Structures are given as structure tokens and as C-alpha cells.
Amino acid sequence: MKKILCILICASLVFVFASCSEKNSSSDTDSTSANTAQASETSVTSENTPQSDGNYDLSFSDRDCDSSYDENSTKITFTDSSAKADSVNGVTVNGTNVTITTEGTYILSGECSDGSVVIETDDKSKVQLVLDNLNLSSKNSPLVIKEADKVFITLANDSSNTLSDSSSYSLTIDDSTVDSAIFSKADLAINGGGSLTVNGNYKHGIVSKDDLIITGGTINVSSKSSGIDGKDCVKIKSASITVDSGTDSIRSTNIDETDSRGFVYINSGSFSLTSTNDAIQAASMLRIDGGNFDITTGGGSTNGKTHTESMGRGMDMFSSSSDSEDTESAKALKAAGNIKVNGGTYNINSSDDSIHSNSDVIITNCDFTAQTGDDGIHADNALTIDGGTINITQSYEGIEAGDIIVNDGKINVVSSDDGFNAAGGSDGEVEQGAFNSDSGKSLTVNGGYVVVDASGDGLDSNGSLSITGGIILVSGPENSGNGALDYNTSASITGGTLIALGSSGMAQSITGDGQCTIMTDITSQSADTMFALCDSNSNVIASFKPAKQYSNIVVSSPSINTGESYKIVCGGTVDGADENGFADNGTLTSGTEITEITMSEENYSSGVGSMNGGMGGPNGDMRGGPGGMTPR
């Protein structure tokens, strides 16, 4: 009997403890939902989100992404004449001005033409503001966060919210000037399923002096100065953002701790950015892993600065060493540190560079279309392209960096000067000529499909040029002061297919290393005239339909062999050719045979272009390179 009683008591205790455990678990969940701001930020989202990049924290906490809240939380309602809170705990109301002093969740709604919300808690408190159809304007700033650990602005599902400051006011907090419609001295996160319109009528739209994180909502910012500004960092995912700004659209400005702060990270989202100056600017690193971007800067490419030609083309240069602080630039994507593009779709119309880094640019994958009044892509140090589609439809210089490496990708460049330029110096204006060559710089193509339409040099390296694979098609230049290929030390090809068609006056060849090359002058051919290299049986080895007139040909292909004869044919059509007229096999219909070449050795060179070992043309280039006068 005692044994049975003992078993019953133990079973009862287990049931009681289990009930208590379930009740506490439920209570904790309810509490977290009811007062989300009190939950700790211990875990981070990991799906498709890297946790870090070096010392840069790219993570989003669960709280950043959690837009849930308890509808029974304190409610604050605005009218033009008053603000009312249904609880006095942690809330002070003075007419239409509300001060929140205690950690918690607060639901804001109503409409007021001159009201404000100030958060002034201790530096360990988390506050959640739920905007549920709030339309709040102020003679100063409608939302000021003086002190807190972190503030979460949640946009209630299907709600429409507007915050607007006035066109002129004077307001300071300690050593900080309040000059935005949303101003925070603490970390600030915005999430939810509603919309938020921010009118920065005085200067800025949204400013955080710490971290600024956006993980949801439809956010529209109009500002006299910058639109979205997070000093330590800006991190964005899963949001729809439109910014029309008088200066920069999105930026991070911490220039004192660039080893870990001052960065912009975009994981995903939809962006429509119109800026007078830069669209996205980072004081350190800029990294984008996805998203859809429609960007216009400086009124678009037609407003690009006037470029002047001079000896060495360096007279109109400016130093970009401090360009990350240059508020007058109008670049689309700009960073003082590295720029990493790992995905996304981009439609850019910029008066200044479309991508500009004072350090390195690394492009892994993207769908990138740009027209620009200056450089398409510029890196002071190294540029690496590992994939994606890059279409630069208008530029001064298309792709420029100290060193350029193309490993993969489909790349199309149209430029009024150089298509690709591996150059010394810190900006695209510093194009090295005879007196500024840098033998350490290099342009390397290991793969991909590259098409260049250049009025200046097609592929230009102030050091060496190396091709190991891929398909490279160069159209232009038409003037005799530039060449389809331009290098200062050496040029070699060991794999891939190269067709470079341009003028003969400054033409340079390329040395085959285990692969045959042909360089020759021909009678001038008009733009859009098919070029084809055919074997003795008239089978196409390589073809290209260039956009520019040409009188010199440089071609190299693994299918060219020593001891065999080849025909150069212009005009006609090639069956199976792609949109650029490229084919590496097939049949040529019609066309005119220009000349026949016998490959008695690996490198064939003939014509005026082969004599370019001497003084260059008006740009001051000293053209060296292979090929004496060796007509066949």
C-alpha cells in the first residue's frame, strides 16, 4: 500500500512540475511577445546570411527580424491638440510631446501636425516602437532617441506611417546636432510589414549615430541631405527602400574605426535610389550579397564631367585618396575600403563612376547594367571578376584598376576612352603614358566572354597583359593615337581566343606562348563588317563583327597551327555566329578574301603596326612589344 501511495505521489509531483514547466514556457513566450523589447539578443539569423567578413559583423539578430508584438502593450494616440497614453508607466506626455523613459513596447498611432516622441531611458534598455498608422510632423524632429541600448521600430502589418521634420530648427543632444526626421544616438533597427515615409525637410532622413539595421517594411525617404545614415554601419535585408536625396542615399560614415565599422552590408531587398551625390557610400567596406537596384546619381550619365586629352592624359586628374570624404562625388556604389558584389541585379545611370573603391573590387556574381559619365568600374588597387553579367553601355573608361583579373563572366564594355585599363595611380584620370608606366601593373584574362567597344585603347595595361583563356573581342579604336591592344612591358597569350580589330597607327601585337598569333594591317573596313579567319578549306576559325571601322587585325586561337595557311575574309555572314558575330567554327557565306597567311612560325606580324617599337602618338605612349618588321 505504501509502495502504491509513493508511486501516486511521485506521479502527481511529475505532473505538477510538468505543468509548471509548460506554464512558465508559455508565460515566457507570452512575455516575449507582449514586451519584445525586453528579450535578449542572443541568437542571430543564419539563413543565407554570413555572420562576419573579417572584423565586420554582418549578422542580424533574431530581434532585428522579429516584428511580433503584444497588442495589449501601452498605446499612445496623437491628435493635433494632444497625445494620450493608456498607461502612465514609463510615459510622460506634455501636450503633443511624448517622452518614453522605461524599457518596453509602445504602440503609436494617430495624426499630429506638431508633435514628437523622445526616448530617454538608460543605456541598457531596449525599446520597441510599433507604428500603426502614425502621421507625425514636428517643428523640430518628430522622433529623437537620446539614450537606450537599442530601439526597434516595427511597422505594423498593412499600416501606413509618415514622419516629417520642419525645414529649419536648432536642436542638440550633448555634442550631437539633431538634423534628421528620425535621429538616434543608440542602435536602431526597423522591421515589420507596413510602410514608412520619412521626409527630411531640414537635412537628413534617418540617422543613427551607432548601428542602423533594416530588415523589412516599405521605406520611402525624401531628404535635403543624406537619406539613410548609420555611422557605425548600415545593414539591410528583405526591405523595399526608395530614397530621393539631396546628397547621398545610403551611407556609413565612421572614418575612425574602419577596421570594423563604417561599413554597409546589403543582404537582399529592393532599392530605388536617386541621389545628387553618391547612392551607396561606405567609409570602409561595402558588401552586397543580393537585391534589386535601380540607381541614378548626379542627374545621370549625361551630366558627367568633361574629359580633356593631354600629354599623358594626366592634366585633368584629381586625387582620390580622400575621395571617401568627397561629398561632391556622384558615384553609384562607393567605398574607401573593399567593395564585394556577390549577387544582385543593378540598373545604374550615374554621372560619376558606377562602382568606385579606393581599395579592391571583387565581383563574384551579379547582373549589372550601367551607363556612366566617368568610369564603369574603378578600383585603386585590384579588381577581380569571377562571374556574372556586366554590361557597361556608356562610359569614359569602362573597367579600370591597378591590377585587373577576369576569371569568368559575360562582360560588355562601351567606352569613349579605354575599355580596360590596368593603371598606376589612384584614379581613372591618372592614365599613365610614357612617363608614368608601372611595370608592376597587370591585366589578366583567365576566362569569360569579354566584348570591348572602345574609342581609346581597347585593352590597356601600363604593365603587362596576359591572356590564358576565355573569349576576348575588341572593337576599336578608329583613331591612330590608340590601339586595340596597348601595354608597356609584355603581352602574352597561352589559351583562349582573342580578336582585336582597330586602327593600325599605334597597333601592338601579342606574343603566343604555345599558341599561334597573327597581326597584320589590311585595307580599311567599315564598321559592322564581318571579319573571319578561315582555314585553307574556308572553315571559320574565328569571326567577329566589330562596331567600329578597322584596318589592323590581331587574332589568336588554339585552332591556329604552324605550317598551315589561313585566309582573312571580310564581309559576308557566318552561320551560327552569336550576337557579336563571334563563331569558332562554321561556314562563311560571301565575303571578300583580303589576304592569305602561312604560319611559318608561332607569331606572325606584318604591317605598319609591327613597327611600333618607337615613339608613340599624341597620348605620349611609348609602344614596345613583340614584332619587328616581318612581312610574309
Q: What is the pLDDT of residues 146-167, one digit of tens each?
A: 999 999 999 999 999 999 999 9
Q: 287-314, pLDDT tens digit by residue? A: 999 999 999 999 999 999 887 653 333 2
Which pLDDT score is estimated for 307?
75
Which pLDDT score is estimated for 440?
87
Instruction: Say if residue 169 is in the same domain as residue 198.
Output: yes
Segment among 129-138, 205-214, 617-626 with least mean pLDDT: 617-626
Instruction: Say if residue 199 is in the same domain as residue 332.
Output: no
The pLDDT of 558-581, averaged and rounded, is 97
Which pLDDT score is estimated for 40?
55
Which pLDDT score is estimated for 631?
28
Secondary element (H or E) of residue 4: helix 2-34
Q: Which residues are CB-contacts of 322 (< 8 A; sequence separation ≥ 6)? A: none
Coarse DSSP helix, strand, coil percentages of the chain, rounded to the nearest 5 percent: 10, 45, 45
Spell out a b/e string for 391-428, using b for 16 or more CB atoms within 10 Å of the CB, else e.
bbbbbbbbbbbbbbbbbbbebbbbbebbbbbbbbbbbb
Q: Which three cell numbers stand for residue 391?
A: 554590361
Segment among 35-39, 43-47, 298-302, 537-541 with least mean pLDDT: 35-39
Distance, in Å, from the CA atom of 119 to the CA atom of 124, rounded to the nearest integer, reads: 13
Q: Do 258 and 357 contact (CB within 8 A), yes or no?
A: no
| Structural domain includes residue 575 | no
Which pLDDT score is estimated for 49?
80
Angle subtended at Cα 199 by Cα 178 and Cα 346, rounded to the nearest 5 degrees: 110
CA–chain centroid gap for 186, Å, is 28
Residue 231 has pLDDT above 70, yes or no: yes
Other Cβ atoms less than 10 A from the Cβ of 471: the count is 22
| Structural domain includes residue 166 | yes
CA–chain centroid gap for 114, Å, is 39
> Residue holding cell 498608422?
133
Secondary element (H or E) of residue 522: strand 517-525
Distance, in Å, from the CA atom of 395 to the CA atom of 415, rounded to the nearest integer, reads: 5
> Residue holding cell 536625396?
245
Instruction: Say if residue 104 is in the same domain as residue 156.
Output: yes
Which pLDDT score is estimated for 41?
61
Which pLDDT score is estimated for 604?
97
Q: Which three cell numbers stand for residue 521?
A: 594591317
- Cα→Cα distances 600→542, 566, 605, 607, Å: 20, 11, 11, 17
Task: Say what percent of the chain tops pLDDT 90.
Answer: 81
Structural domain including 192 reads 62-208
pLDDT tier at 626, thresholds 50, 70, 90: very low
Q: Do 392 and 370 contact (CB within 8 A), yes or no?
A: yes
Burial of 218 (0-12, 13-18, 19+ CB in 10 A): middle
Which pLDDT score is estimated for 44?
57
Instruction: Say if residue 234 is in the same domain as residue 168.
Output: no
| Structural domain includes residue 151 | yes
Instruction: Say if residue 258 is in the same domain as residue 195.
Output: no
Q: Do 285 and 316 contact (CB within 8 A), yes or no?
A: no
Instruction: Say if residue 186 is in the same domain as residue 263.
Output: no
Number of structural domains in the chain: 2
Residue 379 has pLDDT above 60, yes or no: yes
Distance, in Å, from the CA atom of 390 to the CA atom of 528, rounded to the nearest integer, reads: 22
- Cα→Cα distances 289→190, 269, 343, 366, 472, Å: 20, 10, 5, 9, 28
Q: Whole-number mean pLDDT of the chain?
A: 87
Q: Which residues are CB-contacts of 27 (< 8 A; sequence separation ≥ 6)? A: none
Segment among 214-223, 437-446, 598-607 with least mean pLDDT: 437-446
Instruction: Say if residue 143 is in the same domain as residue 276.
Output: no
Instruction: Say if residue 147 is in the same domain as residue 245.
Output: no
Instruction: Say if residue 194 is in the same domain as residue 294.
Output: no
Which pLDDT score is estimated for 328?
81
Instruction: Say if residue 235 is in the same domain as residue 200.
Output: no
| Structural domain includes residue 341 | yes
The pLDDT of 395-407, averaged and rounded, is 98
Residue type at 23 in one-letter notation: K
CA–chain centroid gap for 629, Å, is 46
Q: Do 161 and 134 contact (CB within 8 A), yes or no?
A: yes
Bridge-based pairing of strands 228-230 and 250-252 is parallel
Strands of 139-291, DSSP E: 143-147, 150-155, 160-164, 172-173, 176-177, 180-184, 187-192, 195-200, 204-208, 211-214, 218-223, 228-230, 233-236, 240-245, 250-252, 263-266, 270-275, 280-282, 286-288
Q: Do 80 and 101 contact (CB within 8 A), yes or no?
A: no
Rg of the Cα atoms in the chain: 31
Q: Which three cell numbers stand for residue 419?
A: 575599355
Which residue, 362, 380, 412, sits at the end of a domain?
362
Instruction: Say if residue 116 is in the same domain as residue 244.
Output: no
> Residue holding cell 612617363?
435
- pTM of the full structure: 0.88
Nearest CA to 597 among 631, 627, 556?
631
Instruction: Say if residue 129 is in the same domain as residue 156.
Output: yes
Distance, in Å, from the CA atom of 10 to the CA atom of 157, rounded to the nearest integer, reads: 48
Q: Which residues are CB-contacts of 595 (< 8 A; sequence separation ≥ 6)? A: 520, 522, 567, 568
H helix count then E strand count, the chain: 2, 56
Segment among 13-22, 252-261, 393-402 with least mean pLDDT: 13-22
> 28 versus 418: which is more confidently predicted?
418
Q: Do 444 and 510 contact (CB within 8 A), yes or no?
A: no
Which pLDDT score is estimated for 334?
98
The pLDDT of 487-513, averaged and rounded, is 97
| Structural domain includes residue 71 | yes
| Helix (H/G/I), strand (E/B), else coil: 70 | coil
Strands of 101-179, DSSP E: 104-112, 116-120, 126-137, 143-147, 150-155, 160-164, 172-173, 176-177
Q: 58-110, pLDDT tens digit by residue? A: 999 999 999 999 999 999 999 999 999 999 899 999 999 999 999 999 999 99
Which pLDDT score is estimated for 433?
36
Spell out a b/e string for 131-159, using b for 16 or more CB atoms within 10 Å of the CB, else e.
bbebbbbbebbbbbbbbbbbbbbbbbeeb
Bridge-based pairing of strands 104-112 and 116-120 is unpaired
Segment among 306-310, 349-353, 444-448, 578-582 with least mean pLDDT: 306-310
| Structural domain includes residue 584 | no
> Residue holding cell 564603369?
376
Bridge-based pairing of strands 565-570 and 573-574 is unpaired
| Structural domain includes residue 247 | yes
Distance, in Å, from the CA atom of 390 to the CA atom of 412, rounded to the nearest integer, reads: 6
Which residue, 162, 180, 208, sits at the end of a domain?
208
Q: Do 540 and 585 contact (CB within 8 A), yes or no?
A: yes
| Structural domain includes residue 581 | no
Segment among 34-38, 139-143, 239-243, 582-586 with least mean pLDDT: 34-38
The pLDDT of 374-401, averaged and rounded, is 98
